[in-house]
Structure 1
Amino acid sequence: MLLCLLLMTLMPLGQSVPIQCNTNFRDLKADVIEVLCPEGCLHQEVAVWGTDIYTDDSSVCKAAIHTGNLKNSGGRVRAEKRPGQDSYHQSLRNGVTTRSYGAWHGSFIIISDNNAISPKSTPQTSPVLVQCNTQALQLTGSKTEVLCPAECLTQGTTVWGTEIYTYDSSICRAAINAGKITNAGGKVTVEKRPGQNSYQESTRNGVTTRSYGAYPVSFILTSETIAIPPTSPSHTPIVPVQCNTQARQLNDSKTIVLCPEGCLLHGSTVWGTEIYTDDHAEAQCKSCKLFWSKTAKDRKTKCLAHHAIQAESTIDIKGSLRQRQHRRLQ
């Protein structure tokens, strides 16, 4: 892992990071990264948990073979961070059998790259124009770039799921929920995925999705740039804070704050992951606007930088981690 981190530090921006077959996403310490996988990972004894969305301790290269974005001869793939899921589903694809698992606190997906996979589909020259109520099932093909109009935040049909959505969900509203576009619209790529046993509800970026049981077909959304989620109305004041400012020191239940530079190395202790205790330091980030929200239900806090990915479920990290480590050692 130290070698991988050293390579990432020395590698010029825009180049692939060489990794091994057993490198997992958590080792890469990045939200989005392009890696260079070696040859022969198909037959390496390394584990992968999930289908399309994988636990962050899964092998990146073997997961890429499983999705069809990488051949056993190796090559470049891009991986992107995702929130933890309540469950992960096993499947057999392209010679790789993945395992199922319960709740886990971190995930990742493999982003399709036409240069890294066999050319089964022809890249589109222009995006497909869609409406706010266009559903993924109305598209043809397994991967389509679409252009969403503005104002889909308050228009369009229902969305079921979080990060991975049922195939009859509104594409553009799902894209807002996923943080891929804002209410101003924009381009996003829709990728068809197998059905899931369950879909999780969430409220993100102004779009509330619904939970659902088993559904035969799903889709995920990718984009070249990560959109900044819309914040509160512009008249809401921005409160300057220090690196050691705690959430409990704020007066309102929702506050936009401005973090100073250098909080990566300064500030007080932070307890939690994705959901934090209200006595943690507000700013473990570098000069960004932060959105803080306290829920009335569990009185815990969610701390979201604009480039972060929100997790909608509270996970007992200590218990889950110990139980899982114990299972894998057996």
Structure 2
Amino acid sequence: MTKSDNPWEWPEETWRGKVDRVRAGQTLKPTAWPNGARCAVAVSFDVDHETNELRDGGESISAMSRGQYGNRQGIPRVMDVIRRHDIKASFYVPAVVAQLYPDETRMFVAEGHEVGIHGWIHERNSVLPADVERDLQMRSADMLEKISGKRPVGIRTPSWDFSQSTLEITRDMGLIYDSSLMGDVDCYHLLLDGVDTGVIELPVEWIRDDAVYFNMNRFSALRPYTPPEAVFDVFRREFEAAYDEGGLFQLTMHPHVTGYRSRIWIFEDIVRLAKDKGDVWFATHAEIVEWVKANT
């Protein structure tokens, strides 16, 4: 049969193969969380800083200054909330960012938080040759371990971009989890061509990501801006539903997005809302994955 680039002309084996390459397996929702908590809260920050500009070969001083803001103002504001409320978080750090700001990366681990893989320079996995993606992912893990003193056990791909090779590489590296896919609201096993990889997915979702509401590109006609109160309402409703279901609430934020004086309250009010319940477990993504593996 002649190969066609038209999807409507694909034979079943082609479209089914694409769908089945990476699939959600068994859901991992424990019957109980630690210390009788009703809900687990997984707070995370993608510490992209200047790599949002660098990854495309850009050299805009203006764009990189916004990334620098993430280090100079965003992270201190985020850490102030975290420290005052005594909660844990996961930080996903591109290897280039870790080299630019080694003290920042070491600080995350020293204060009991998790540092996870987030690419080398926030590259897009889906445009990379498989051997290049593998090399970058392995070198990223090595660099984070060298700088932070602790080997990462999980990955969040840059921009949640997931190639045909990503899961295979993650499995081969012995990582315990990924947090880049959106197949559920609770953790689940990841299948590669129908076979359980042993890698657990702690799912993300764009509606629980601050960047989609606030980012802009001055050279684009698109100006996606949402009032902070509306963003908080989405996050709040997601948390309330997770709490009612006794499940997992996962949140993705960025220091250069949420770390502004008019927005940091969103993060703090979500933390307050969760803590006021009295039976919520704040944990790193790695801790949550280890718990669900052992208790489902």
**TM tier relative to shorter chain:** under 0.3
Question: TM-score if structure 2 supplies the norm length?
Answer: 0.24
Larger strand proportion of the pair: 1
Query: Larger RCO: Structure 1 or Structure 2 (Cα < 8 Å, ≥ 6 residues apart)?
Result: 2
- Bigger-Rg structure (1/2): 1
